[in-house]
Amino acid sequence: MEKRTALIAGATGLVGNSLLRQLLADDLYSKILIVSRRSISISHPKLIQQQIDFNEIELFKPGLHVDDVFCALGTTIKTAGSKDAFFKVDYTYVLLLGTWAAANGAGKFLIVSAMGANAKSGIFYNQVKGEMELAVSLLKIPQIQIFRPSLLMGNRTENRNGEKFAQAAMRTLGFLFIGPLLKYKGIHADVVARAMIAAAKEDSKGVVVNESEEMQSYKI
């Protein structure tokens, strides 16, 4: 199989960091380009880092063709500071990245969304995620893969006390989430990343939504 080039946005986050580690170890990918507002303290022969302003991503010229674009951008309202700031990261920046991917000939756009994403939801977080999914689904990219994980498990660099409590509870009670409840079981970021990379290697076309329970089979 011909070697591929991947771009990751959000490589400092939980899923993004796992994507970076797994793609660097994957022989199918010869170059991994990460775009971010700040550099990451990691070096690797396959790794290329570019600091960009996501507000002006249409001006970004990476100097190489990108086959697969992995988007793990995301924040919380608390971290962002306001609903408007949250919307900018989780909707605007994701859509701008997808628009850039389409304009630059990327064959695949793979996005981390969230379980419960629904543009008609009464919950602001889920509503924004749903609106983002609808918007990116209209992009002219051959393959668009959307991933809706439940509670993400793993060690974040940023402090999210509520999430830490939920993770601890899930580690204790996770065995109860079977059958119809599997969709609500916490899912490790490494599992989500593995599912995304597996999807990137598929030949499917169009828009595919991957629910949390479907990703659980990509165990670590």
What average pLDDT does this structure show over 4-16? 96
Q: How confident is the model at residue 170 (pLDDT cuts 50, 70, 90)?
A: very low
Q: What is the pLDDT of residue 159?
A: 52
Rounded Cα gap, residues 156 and 159, in angstroms: 7
Answer whether 148's CB lies under 8 Å from 196's CB. Answer: no
pLDDT of residue 24: 97
Q: What is the pLDDT of residue 13?
A: 93
- Tell me the pLDDT tens digit for each residue of 84-127: 999 999 999 999 999 999 999 999 999 999 999 999 999 999 99
pLDDT number for residue 7: 98
In this prediction, residues 201-218 reach a mean pLDDT of 91
Q: Indicate whether 41 pLDDT > 90.
A: no
Q: State yes or no: pLDDT of 179 exceeds 80.
A: no
Q: Phi then psi for 214, rounded to 5 degrees?
A: -70, -35
Task: Catalogue all structural domains in the chain, each as residue range(s) with its CATH number.
Answer: 4-213 (3.40.50.720)
| Strands, E assignment, the chain | 4-9, 29-36, 47-51, 68-71, 108-112, 143-148, 152-153, 187-188, 206-211
How sure is the predictor about 54, in pLDDT bands with cuts at 50, 70 and 90?
very high
Closest CA to 213 of 164, 147, 160, 154: 147
Q: Which of 142, 66, 51 is nearest to 100 (CA)?
A: 66
pLDDT tens readout for residues 68-87? 999 999 999 999 999 999 99
Residue 220, pLDDT score: 66
pLDDT at 38: 83
Determine contact, residues 185/149, Cβ cutoff 8 Å: no
Catalytic-residue membership of 129? yes
The total number of residues shown for the chain amounts to 220
Find the catalytic residue in 88, 125, 183, 184. 125
- Is 29 annotated as catalytic? no
Q: Which helix (H) or strand (E) element contains residue 199?
A: helix 189-200
Which of 129, 183, 184, 185 does the annotation list as catalytic? 129
Instruction: Round the average pLDDT of the chain to a whole number and report it.
Output: 88
**pLDDT score at 184:** 60
Share of the chain above pLDDT 90, in %: 75
Assess whether pLDDT exceeds 80 at residue 182.
no
Q: Give me 70's structure tokens.
A: 């992995």
